[in-house]
Structure 1
Amino acid sequence: MPDRQRADARRNHARILAVAEEEVATHGAGASLEQIARVAGVGSATVRRHFPTRRALLEAVSRQRIELLCARADELASEDDSRVALLSWLGDVVTYCVEARGLAAALSYEGAEPGSVYENTCSAMMEKAGDPLLRRAVRDGAVTEGVTVADLIALIIGITSAAEHHPDPAARAERLFRLAVTGLSPQPGR
């Protein structure tokens, strides 16, 4: 947001974002933009001026968690075991996606137009953060070559979406994640 923005516009932006965080936490990615505007005490046009698309709003709501996940990837880069580092980070992504309703939608490429000003910056940040962990795990033979961070994020989005309405979404997402990591076949020695 430009520093030259008027004080009332900055206040509106902050108020809309605070209300949006609460609404998304309660109602998920489908939170009503009109309800957000009403609770924030602004018109729908003001919400759309600050956040021209639902994706832009979800990304703004998710920004702090995305930054924490990126910092976590940096921390794990020094872990001795590349597989443990990657799986720890992915486990954190699963946990955050379950805890922060709307985060999985913010990471999804659904509805993002390539080359658009509103292209998916959350996913781009996550891909950049996770890439060193993944490249190291591939190099060490701990992950199959050709897997991308985008693949892994898509898998997590699917897992957290499938678990969202389960009575215990965190436990269900964790189980599905572990199943995805270990596969269906029994592996000797593991």
Structure 2
Amino acid sequence: MRADAKKNYSRLLAVAHDVVAKHGVDASMRDIARRADVGLATLLRHFPTREALFEALLCTHLDKLTQKANELETSNSPDEALVSWFREWMAFTQSHRGVVALMASAHANADSALYASCAAVHSASARLLLRAQAEGTARTDMNGDDLFGLMAALGWLVDLPSFAPRADHLVHIIADAILPNRSSNDIEKQRAESER
């Protein structure tokens, strides 16, 4: 890639990140190009579809999210790791408004440009759940699909302005439902940490 093309590519991704954070995934491609000081044709040369733009924008962040799951898997107790994972997920969805709907549809479509990244997040979630189930703190009547569905629902809810202030509370409710066998000391410790 030529230096000017690489510069345009990087600039487009930076602007797209800011625009999506502010306006969600329905942000105008034309608006992104205008804010990046390039023509729409330049944007479309780099990202021929909206999904291609979001793939490039989200894959880096989804890869970081998956890496965080790998770190949690080896550094925290299984139940703490799962609750921390929920918090990481919530932070991700709050900084990428509207991403949950894209991920939910990509998760069911192997031809989607976002499929591999979504599958990695799904797999990481399932591993964290299995680890907590093996320890005996997580419900055994659910699987990775159930967990991904709950995470998607939670991410979608906090995308709504009326629920955004209740995000932390909703995380606690979901965590308590998934991890019914945690000690009350662990629950209070994690709540205190989340309030810092």
User: Shorter-chain-normalised TM-score: which range?
Assistant: 0.7 to 0.9
* Distance in 1, Cα, partners of 2:81 & 2:74: 8
Structure 2 CA distance for partners of 1:56 and 1:152, relative to 1, 3 Å: farther
* Distance in 2, Cα, partners of 1:147 & 1:47: 43
1:161 to 156, 163, 166: 156
Normalising by the residue count of structure 2, what TM-score does the alignment of the two structures yield?
0.75
Aligned to 2:7: 11
Aligned to 1:142: 137
| Structure 1, 51-60 or 140-149: larger mean CA deviation | 140-149
Question: Secondary structure of 2:105's match?
Answer: coil
Structure 1: runs of 5 or more not aligned: none
Aligned to 2:20: 24
How big is the shift at 1:168?
6.9
Q: How many residues matched?
A: 182
Does residue 181 of the first structure (1) align with residue 175 of the second (2)?
A: yes
Deviations 1:93-139 (A, max 9, x none): 11221234344345x23266733261423312212333332221222
Aligned to 2:88: 92
Question: Secondary structure of 2:33's match?
Answer: helix
How big is the shift at 1:35?
0.4
2:44 to 27, 44, 48: 48
2:29 to 33, 43, 52: 33
Structure whose residues are more often helix by fraction: 2
Deviations 1:63-94 (A, max 9, x none): 34323322221222224631221121122211
Structure 2 CA distance for partners of 1:135 and 1:90, relative to 1, 3 Å: same
How big is the shift at 1:28?
1.1
Structure 2 CA distance for partners of 1:66 and 1:115, relative to 1, 3 Å: closer
Aligned to 2:116: 121
* Distance in 1, Cα, partners of 2:108 & 2:133: 30
**CA RMSD across the alignment:** 3.0
Amino acid at match of 1:129: A
Question: Secondary structure of 1:118's match?
Answer: coil
Q: Percent identity?
A: 33
* Distance in 2, Cα, partners of 1:24 & 1:88: 25
